[in-house]
A and B are shown apart, each in its own frame.
Chain A
């Protein structure tokens, strides 16, 4: 992004680049940069907090007064949140004949629908497969965990992209269950740490790694620190 700032300045447009990774913005050195110690995915820091967002923009616009390249740091930091910050009651078992993960997935559908109704679908859930096809994808992941090679398991697309759709469904369900906007990464931590499907997804990823699949196929099914 700082690369683009150099290009746009060359075209005669004054720019201010926000950045949240210190070494990146320092190395690329945009003409005017504002380092914001905010979680990835939240470059304005806090959703639904107009006052905070205005403080960020005010600092950014102040850099337009500079007479030479400048890099400053925004004074406030925003921390990520753990899963404990997200009080999402998972649905109780309603059909003991189903695998727990499928029961959970179906049980969250009303919450997902509430999330969609309240916020729309900005996070792009359903980019590879529709919501109605996600259950089939989860069943395929179970087969991978049980030892079936992923290409034969019936995963309906590139595993990392299918995983993103599944995670999107759950994170939107989390929004539908929550009475507030969760702290950064709280939804992700909840998904991978507390849900049945998060456990299945990580297990499928581990199985693919153990079977010698190429790294790009399995690695991006979860954040890189997992």
Chain B
């Protein structure tokens, strides 16, 4: 029963509380540019791997499909992603939705962070806002966040 027990451990981790919740209204999905932001420590082959407690992000090129996970943790199933990257970063599915007009456009770039962080201060004040600004300036309207 690994998954149940590992999740139980994660539930005990302190979660940040946001007193005010920002809420952005998107354009129509059929006109929106959509990106994925994964916290599975994804990077391209040859791109800088994630270090433990790495608070930075990596920019992922939508045209490539050579994603690797740099997640430093024994507490997740890696085989699903190893066999099908869409299990974590569903870009083939987004391409299919774009092809039938459900979404306006798949972003040319996506981002990945390392999700297993105990200290979120640097992500909240630095790399999080920087990544958001970068995607916003790249024309992204909607982000789907996927964990690992």
Chain A positions within 8 Å of B, measured between CB atoms, are: 1-24, 27-31, 39-48, 50, 53-54, 57, 60-61, 64, 68-69, 80, 115, 119-124, 127, 160-161, 163-164, 167-168, 171-172, 174-175, 181-182, 184-189, 220-226
New A-B pairs, 20, CB < 8 Å, besides A9-B21, A28-B17, A226-B2? A1-B147, A2-B15, A4-B39, A6-B22, A9-B22, A17-B145, A27-B17, A31-B24, A45-B87, A47-B80, A53-B93, A54-B93, A121-B45, A164-B74, A172-B82, A181-B84, A185-B2, A220-B73, A224-B6, A224-B74
In the complex the two chains form, is B75's CB within 8 Å of A224's CB? yes
Q: Does B101 contact A (CB under 8 A)?
A: no
In the complex the two chains form, is A171's CB within 8 Å of B82's CB? yes
List residues of chain B with CB within 8 A of the CB of A119.
Answer: 82-83
In the complex the two chains form, is A171's CB within 8 Å of B23's CB? no
List residues of chain A with CB within 8 A of the CB of B78.
Answer: 41, 123, 167-168, 171, 187
Contact of B49 (CB < 8 Å), options: A16, A23, A123, A127: A127
Contact of B79 (CB < 8 Å), options: A15, A21, A123: A123
- Min distance, Cβ B3 to any Cβ of chain A, angstroms: 4
List residues of chain A with CB within 8 A of the CB of B3.
Answer: 39-40, 80, 184-185
A-B contact pairs, 15 of them (CB 8 A): A3-B124, A4-B123, A8-B128, A10-B129, A13-B143, A14-B24, A18-B145, A22-B11, A31-B23, A41-B79, A64-B29, A119-B82, A121-B68, A182-B79, A225-B5
In the complex the two chains form, is A122's CB within 8 Å of B39's CB? no
In the complex the two chains form, is B17's CB within 8 Å of A44's CB? no
In the complex the two chains form, is B77's CB within 8 Å of A41's CB? yes
Closest chain A residue to B117 by CB distance? A3
List residues of chain A with CB within 8 A of the CB of B103.
Answer: 61
Closest chain A residue to B69 by CB distance? A124
List residues of chain A with CB within 8 A of the CB of B62.
Answer: none
Given A7-B132, A124-B68, verify A185-B77 contact (CB < 8 Å): yes
Size class of the B contact interface (CB-based, 8 Å): 35 or more
Chain B positions within 8 Å of A, measured between CB atoms, are: 1-7, 9-11, 13, 15-18, 21-26, 29, 32, 37, 39, 45, 49, 66-88, 90, 92-94, 96-97, 102-103, 113, 115, 120, 123-124, 128-129, 131-133, 135-136, 140-148
In the complex the two chains form, is A20's CB within 8 Å of B66's CB? no
List residues of chain A with CB within 8 A of the CB of B37.
Answer: 4, 8
Contact of A7 (CB < 8 Å), options: B77, B84, B86, B124: B124
List residues of chain A with CB within 8 A of the CB of B87.
Answer: 41-47, 53
Bound together, the chains give a CA A23 to CA B17 distance in angstroms of: 13
Cβ-closest 9 pairs across A and B: A14-B26, A11-B132, A41-B77, A41-B76, A225-B5, A47-B84, A27-B15, A23-B11, A9-B22
In the complex the two chains form, is B147's CB within 8 Å of A43's CB? yes
In the complex the two chains form, is B132's CB within 8 Å of A10's CB? yes
In the complex the two chains form, is B141's CB within 8 Å of A222's CB? no
Given A11-B133, A61-B29, A127-B49, verify A163-B79 contact (CB < 8 Å): no
Closest chain B residue to A47 by CB distance? B84
List residues of chain A with CB within 8 A of the CB of B75.
Answer: 40, 223-224
Given A42-B80, A48-B84, verify A122-B144 contact (CB < 8 Å): no
List residues of chain B with CB within 8 A of the CB of A64.
Answer: 26, 29, 142
Closest chain B residue to A31 by CB distance? B23
